Amino acid sequence: MDETKDGTTHFGYREVPVDEKKKLVGQVFSSVARNYDLMNDLMSLGVHRVWKRYFVGTSGVKRGDRVLDLAGGTGDIAALLHERVGETGEVVLGDINAQMLGVGRDRLTDRGLVRGLRYVQLNAEALPFPDASFDLVTIAFGLRNVTDKARGLREMRRVLKTGGRALVLEFSQVKPEWFRPIYDFHSFQVLPRLGRLFAQDADSYQYLAESIRKHPPQEELQAMMAEAGFARCSHRNLSGGIVAIHSGYAV
């Protein structure tokens, strides 16, 4: 699927010029950065922490590994990865947005996590690393925001060492039919109101709900990973498909 054909792409439910999406996504995350962690807890009632811990738990990452967490934002995944690779390994937290990266760096530094962590402002579509640099590349709740997802996936494949693994944690398509109206109500009625109340920003949370619906569903994303050059591609639904973990290997 080419999401950027005809020079346009989607930003939530709006069709926008490709060049504009990056700017609009940038505005969303600059606006939410300060309240990002609080909002995650409120919106998911803390469940995002369970998803993230499980995600990193399935990574198979070992002490001494070199890992890249793309769209790493405020650092939840990087902190969990750091526990596993230890100070002899390295976690590179990459994000396009300076505000999100700044909150992440302050947060992890305040927790005493310094050695073995590096912060790089980057675009997931054009990674500033040589081929075959990492044992694991993760992206959690980030791929949805990348304009050219196929390009982002190819870049993830390129920077992985042979035998390395890519893991994507992302909102996906809810499977039980009966749950969909409840989930839609939460997404379109509750989230923007929480955003207005706690972050003085309803629009960013309306974008969140819309962007989830525009993201490729499980099977389509798995096919995109295979197309990007990953082997043994698979996915696993969590919480009935509210989120899914996609996995692929570099061989």
- Per residue, the 3-state secondary structure of the chain, as one string, reads CCCCHHHEEEECCEEEEHHHHHHHHHHHHHHHHHHHHHHHHHHHCCHHHHHHHHHHHCCCCCCCCEEEEECCCCCHHHHHHHHHHCCCCEEEEEECCHHHHHHHHHHHHHCCCCCCEEEEECCCCCCCCCCCCEEEEEEECCHHHCCCHHHHHHHHHHHEEEEEEEEEEEECCCCCHHHHHHHHHHHHHHHHHHHHHHHCCHHHHHHHHHHHHHCCCHHHHHHHHHHCCCEEEEEEEEHHHCEEEEEEECC
Shortest Å, Cβ 79 to ligand SAM: 10
Closest approach of Cβ 100 to ligand SAM, in Å? 4
Nearest to ligand SAM of 151, 161 (CB atom): 151
Residue whose C-beta lies closest to ligand SAM:
73
Shortest Å distance, C-beta 217 to ligand SAM = 19
Smaller CB separation from ligand SAM, 29 or 230 = 29
To ligand SAM, the closest distance from the beta carbon of 37 in angstroms equals 8
User: Which residue, 59 or 64, has its beta carbon nearer to ligand SAM?
Assistant: 59
Residue 77 or 177 with smaller CB distance to ligand SAM: 77
- List residues binding ligand SAM (CB under 6 A): 25, 29, 70-74, 76-77, 95-97, 100, 123-125, 140-142, 145-146
Rounded to the nearest whole angstrom, what is the least distance from the CB of residue 7 to ligand SAM in the complex?
18
Closer to ligand SAM by CB, 144 or 235: give it.
Answer: 144
